[in-house]
Each structure stands twice: as structure tokens, then as C-alpha cells.
Chain A
Amino acid sequence: MRPKQERIFYLLQALLCILVCLSLAAGAVGIYARGTGEGGEGDGREEIYTREKAAAALILPGALAVLLFLHSLLKPLIAPGSVPRVGKRERISRPPEAVRPFGGRTGAVRAVLIALGAGLIVYGIADGSMRDVLVKAIHICTECIGLG
């Protein structure tokens, strides 16, 4: 694929990711709207539960979609010709030239992912998913050991 075609391809991919994000957000808002619409009177629990559920439904796929989106955005930044192609006559056992998939921006990508990972951990601790890990880990998982 020529470099220009590559850029168009990755831009289309980025657009698709944006569309996925928007549809997921619409879905989450829809869940929340339906939940508040069906909420009982005098009991504020339904609203809290539905809001949490909507937020949780959005976070996980949203995070995945953001990752895909970042990946698609960064791909077009590859300098043309930096990914060598192995010629037909070259043996497979010969290692090709070292690939620099991010065109020297590896450090920036790492920093972004490390920050994202740290952010997810902090959010997870606040959200209670760390507590879920603990609850599961301190009980014998009978399924995991083949007994349940």
C-alpha cells in the first residue's frame, strides 16, 4: 500500500473509532435515561444504580475505543519508508532490519500508555474494582481448580 493510501486507511480507521465511541456514549446515555424514567418514587437507589451502571458500561468499552483511536492516530505518523519490506529472495531465517514502528516516537507512546495505565489503576481503586479483585482472590475459586 502506498503511503498516501496508508494515511487514508488509518484516518478512516480513526473515524470509525470516533463513531464507535459516539454510539457507545449514546447507548450509555440511553441506559441512564431509561433507568431514571423507570425509577420508583421515594427510593433514590434506582437513580444511583442506573447512573453507576451507565458509567460502568461506558468506561470499559470507551477505554478500549480510546486505545484503538490513539493507535489509529499514531499510525499515520510513521515516516514513509521506515518499515522495510523483506524481499522475495531473502530467506525467512534472516532477520529483517530492525523495525521502528513509531518512527522514533516510542518514548511518547510509552509515556501516554503508562499515564493511561496509572490513571486506570487510580480510577479502579476509587471505583471499587480493586476491591473486587481482593474479594475474589481471598476465596478459593472452585471453578478455577476444577472442583465447581
Chain B
Amino acid sequence: MGRAAEFLRAHRPTTRRLAQLYCALLYNAHLKGFPEGSIYTGAAKAVCVPGLNCYSCPGAVGACPLGAMQNALASAGTRSGAYVFGILMLFGVMLGRTVCGWLCPVGLFQELLHRIPTPKLQKSRITRGLSLVKYLILALFAVALPLWYALKEGVPVPAFCKYICPAGTFEGAAALLSSPRNDGLFAMLGTLFTRKWVILSVIVLSCVFCWRAFCRFVCPLGAIYSLFSSLAVIGVRVDESKCTRCGACVRACGMDVKRVGDRECIHCGECMSHCAEGAISIKCGRITLRGAEGARGADRAPEKGKGKRAGRIVRGILTAFLLFAVLWFNVLSPGGVEEASAPARSWESSAPVGSDEGMQPADFTVSLVGGGAFHLADARGRVTVINLWATWCGPCVEELPVFSDFQTAHPDACVLAIHSPDIIVEEDVVAFTEKNSALNVLFAMGEGAKEAYAAVGGGLILPQTAVLNARGEVVYNQPGRMTAKQLEELYERAKTETGP
């Protein structure tokens, strides 16, 4: 027992490791999302967490600041995005890259990977030079591309999330695909997924051999926070009166720092134990949060009674908060956006009511943009294509011309695009339809949209397309993009088949 206790004491996690684990659990407190294969849709998701955490992760209870920033830029021209920039500014000024060292789950993951015993790549001038690549990625993928696509093409493209981010591939895709409830998502796998999976694999391997490779060379969020390195309230500070400029701290640091506290410093505080003079500490303004360790002489002040008690109180509050968060997001939370129950059908049919293939969606009436209404029952006798979309969904916007061309080629069919009813901003949809008035598609939104979504089983994944045959039976109903060829095949099938 004594040896076990000694072993545990020698290998207990550090405060920083506990903080990282705490944040990883807090950011992903919606634990029931993992077995259910669904994401949290509550109001808490309007709040950005400080670290990198994909909001498509089944456990995520907050928004990713980097994803939110790209989406804010993607809506340039219609909205200011001030909220996200304000949040980034506050995080930057208050915490700076302390977020990277203490509060980011991706950082934790990288450090754990690095513990795998292999030869390790040492830092050098080359790695210091490579650390500038993340600023390039920030400028190009996180800022320029979303802005360009938004202003020139009118399509929202969160380029870093779409092409590079490993958090989305791992936390989002892997977690969602592992649930049997999301088997339909496998139909959406393609080149993009393969590319992202390769990038994830490369990053994971790199982190094994190179300490925090993603943080040092790729992460745009770290690049943003590094801009505030000289201003951050909380961080590692050097006492100039004690510092002998021996360089031990810089040599011991795994990041590509030139001095403690520069733009590459993640304020992990690991250098504190290497400073013989005890010149390094973690401060919040002028308050010392963590004093110097390993100092020569008697500079290592024992923790006083008041400080110890304050520490216990803080730990107790944080633990209680985490437990409450887990309880709230898994049990008590009223949930998110309301899901309307499908109304009863208004016409007789032999197929059961439902949204799966072979079933008949319940009748609905939905308002059209520009006036009028669409009644599903009136579309009987025609092949009906129902597309669920949103203005903020890049793939949705990109595929609308396919439906327009289809409608033009087949005037006997009926193509209806229903905008997502979740917290809709009608002016945005009206503006979009006016700007794209050449699209030969019926656009619907507002009244009746919730019932329409419920009728075709519309959920959290957009775009989604349902094809109904002339009797109103579902021939196809899947999330994911449609190609012209797929639409043609489904049209032919709907005209001839009665459904499975």
C-alpha cells in the first residue's frame, strides 16, 4: 500500500495536466452525444470556448472560436461578426497563449502523443522558421479565403475547417461515424474526407516525433493569441532582477522561443523548474499565481495557510462547476431547437407515414419567399424534389444551381428548397433569393418550415434532399450533396418505380 501510494504520488498529474483534462471534459460535457451520435443544440453553443474544439463534436457544448471567426468572415457584407472578434480580443488580452498551454484539448492530445517513446526531433533555427507558417495559414485559410468566397462568390467557406483542421476530422467525423445511428453519413464520404484523414494522420505522427507540432507550425488560433503575447494579463513572467540570462529556460523549452514570454511561449511554466535563480513565475497582472520552483537557496517559499485554503476553495468550486455542467448538459438541459412533430397526413395512402424510403411524408404547407404557399398535397402526380438548405451552409449554396438546372430540364417536376427554420433571419434569405433570382427553384421559409422539416426527417445535417414519386412516396432521402447525374437517376427511378 505504501509503495502504491508512493508510486501514485510520484506520478500524479501536474496542475497543468489537470487543468487541460478539466477543460477537455468541460468543453465536451455533452457526454450522451457520443453514444447517441448527435450534437448538443442548446443555447450554450452561442458561447465560444477559448481553445480549439470542433462544435460538430457530439460532446461539444460551446462554439469553436476559430470556426466562429471563419463563419463571421464568411458572412461579411451582411453581418459584422463583431461578437466573435470581441471574444477573441478578450481571450487574447486576458489569457494570450496561456490558452494553448493550459486550456486547449488539442494541446493536451499532442502532449500525450509525444509521450510515446520514440526518437524526438529537436528544435532548431529551421523549426523556428517553420513556426511562421501558422501565420500564413491564418492569413490565407482562416481569413482571406472565407472573405474572398463571401464577397465574390456569395458562398460561405470556412477554409481552415474545411481543408485542414484535424479537430473536425477527429472529434467530429470519427465521433459521429462511430455511432450506428449515423450510418447514412458514410454515403457522404469522398475525396475531401480522404484528404482530411491524411492530414490528421500526418499531424498525429508529427506530434509523436515533434513536440506540439500542430501548435508550433499550423494552428491559426495560436497565431491569433500570439499577437497578444506582450499584453496578456495572465502568463509567465521573468523577474529581471534575478535573471542572469543564462538561457537555461530557453534551452529547456520545447517551443521555439527566443525568450520566455515571446510569441511562441505557451506559458506552460515548465521552464520554472529549470531556472536556478527562481526568476520565472506565473502571474496574473501583479499577483503571483505560481511562484518560482527549483530556486537556489531559500527562495522557494512554502505555501502559506491562506494560500492553501484559497487553493482548496478554488478547486472545490471548479469541481462543483464541472459536475454541474455534466449534469446540466446530459440530464437537466431543456435541449436546443424545438423539433416540431409531424402533423397527420391529410390524404389517404397505402404507404405508412414517415420520411424513410417507401413511406409517405406527412402533408405540410409552407410559405414561399415572395408570397404564396406550397402545399405538398398539390404536388401529387409530379416528381417532387425537396431540398433542405440554409444560406450559411456552403455546400447547400453551391448545389442550388444543380437543382435549378434540373427544374429547367424537367418542368413537369417540382423542386422546392426549404430554408432551415432554426433561428432564421428572413432578410438574409430574401436577400439571397433576390441576388440569385435566376435560380429556377421554389424557395420556402418561415411558416410551416418546421413541420416540413419534421415531415421529411430533416435534422442537423445540411444539405438534405428528398425525392418523392408521383404518389408522394419517398424514393430517396439522404443528407449530403447532390450531383446532376444523381438527380437524373432519381428522377427516372421516381417516374417508373413505386419505391422499395
Contacts and interface: CB of A to CB of B under 8 A. Distances in A.
Interface in A90-109: 91-99, 101-102, 106, 109
Interface in B105-162: 157-158, 161-162
A138 B75 contact: no
B84 A124 contact: yes
Contacts of A1: none
Contacts, number: 249
Interface string A18-59: 000000000000000000000000000100110011011101
A132 B55 CA distance: 14
B395 interface: yes
Interface stretch (B10-18, B238-246, B302-310, B492-500): B238-246
Interface string B22-46: 0000000000000000011111011
A60 B76 contact: yes
Contact of A60 (B55, B80, B157, B195): B80
A49 B87 contact: no
B82 A129 contact: yes
B81 A114 contact: no
B184 to A, nearest CB: 11
Contacts of A131: 46, 423, 425
Nearest to B172: A145
Given A95-B245, A95-B259, A121 B82 contact: yes
Contacts of B401: none
Contact of A140 (B94, B172, B195): B172
Contacts of B173: 145-147
B362 interface: no
B41 A146 contact: no
A139 B63 contact: no
A141 interface: yes
A128 B84 CA distance: 11
A109 B230 CA distance: 11
A59 B249 contact: no
Interface residues of A, number: 59
Given A56-B77, A132-B392, A146 B46 contact: no
Interface stretch (B66-74, B201-209, B321-329, B466-474): B66-74
A128 B193 contact: no
A114 to B, nearest CB: 5
B82 A59 contact: yes
A139 B462 contact: yes
A57 to B, nearest CB: 6
A146 B480 contact: no
Contacts of A141: 54-56, 67, 158, 161, 168, 172
B3 interface: no
B192 A146 contact: yes
A56 B78 contact: yes
A60 B390 CA distance: 23
Given A114-B93, A119-B86, A123-B82, A136 B67 contact: yes
Contacts of B261: 98
Main secondary structure of the interface of A (DSSP, over half): helix
Contacts of B92: 113
B41 A94 contact: no
B185 A136 contact: no
B420 A145 contact: no
Given A131-B46, A131-B423, A60 B82 contact: yes
A95 B161 contact: no
Nearest to A59: B80
Interface residues of B, number: 94
Given A53-B78, A99-B230, A142 B94 contact: no
A113 B93 contact: yes
Given A138-B45, A139-B461, A116 B56 contact: no
B431 interface: yes
A148 interface: yes
A4 to B, nearest CB: 24
B340 interface: no
A95 B45 contact: no
A130 interface: yes
A15 to B, nearest CB: 23
Contact of A127 (B67, B79, B238, B390): B79
Interface in B362-409: 390, 392-395
B430 A95 contact: no
Contact of A93 (B64, B83, B251): B251
Nearest to B170: A145
B430 A45 contact: yes
- 3 tightest Cβ-Cβ pairs between the two chains A and B: A124-B83, A120-B86, A145-B172
Given A59-B80, A63-B82, A139-B462, 19 more contacts: A45-B430, A56-B77, A60-B81, A95-B243, A98-B238, A121-B82, A123-B86, A127-B83, A129-B75, A133-B45, A133-B48, A135-B422, A141-B67, A145-B54, A145-B168, A146-B195, A147-B185, A147-B188, A148-B395
Interface of A: 45, 48-49, 52-53, 55-57, 59-60, 63, 91-99, 101-102, 106, 109-110, 113-114, 116-125, 127-148
23 contacts: A60-B85, A91-B247, A95-B238, A95-B243, A109-B231, A113-B93, A113-B231, A117-B87, A120-B82, A123-B86, A129-B79, A132-B81, A133-B72, A135-B422, A137-B45, A138-B336, A142-B188, A143-B395, A144-B161, A145-B172, A146-B193, A147-B189, A147-B480
Interface of B: 39-43, 45-46, 48, 54-56, 60, 62-64, 67-68, 71-72, 75-90, 92-94, 157-158, 161-162, 165, 168-169, 172-173, 176, 185, 188-190, 192-193, 195-197, 230-231, 233, 238, 240, 243, 245-247, 249-251, 258-261, 336-337, 390, 392-395, 420, 422-423, 425, 427, 430-431, 460-463, 479-481
